[in-house]
């Protein structure tokens, strides 16, 4: 679970390359947790160091996106902006980060209305 007193729970985003040469982007939270985004996966890790661990130590939760909901990189990034628990993606999709889950929506309007959810990453 993500526990944070500040409304701005995200510290930074960072583009990385996974050990399989797949491009990815990480959101680093103030509590040390890391959300990894790839074209077809959302995954939560205990730290940035655990993302490329071949044994999967540090993986908290993950979900695979269906082929029709894949994320698209633009300018070598998935993430366009973030504020508080809202993350705007470069392909127009949006993420909502709450204490118990992360939800993927087709647009910012859908995310703000909490409707038409495409995927959910449960953290509890």
Number of residues that this document lists for the chain: 124
pLDDT digits (tens, 9 = 90+) for 109-123: 999 999 999 999 998
pLDDT digits (tens, 9 = 90+) for 72-98: 999 889 999 998 889 999 999 999 998
pTM (two decimals): 0.88
Q: What is the band of 7 on the pLDDT scale with cuts at 50, 70, 90? A: low
- Whether 118 and 70 have beta carbons less than 8 Å apart is answered as no
14, pLDDT greater than 60: yes
- The CA-based angle 33-118-14, given to 5 degrees, is 35
- Whether 51 and 59 have beta carbons less than 8 Å apart is answered as no
């Amino acid at each position: 679970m993500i526990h944070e007193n500040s409304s701005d729970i995200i510290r930074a985003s960072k583009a990385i390359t996974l050990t399989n040469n797949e491009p990815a982007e990480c959101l680093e939270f103030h509590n040390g947790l890391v959300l990894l985004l790839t074209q077809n996966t959302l995954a939560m890790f205990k730290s940035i160091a655990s993302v490329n661990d071949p044994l999967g130590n540090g993986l908290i939760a993950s979900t695979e996106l269906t082929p029709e909901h894949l994320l698209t990189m633009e300018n070598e990034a998935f993430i366009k902006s973030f504020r508080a628990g809202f993350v705007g993606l470069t392909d127009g999709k949006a993420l909502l980060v709450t204490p118990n889950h992360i939800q993927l929506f087709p647009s910012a309007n859908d995310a703000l209305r909490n409707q038409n959810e495409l995927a959910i990453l449960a953290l509890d």
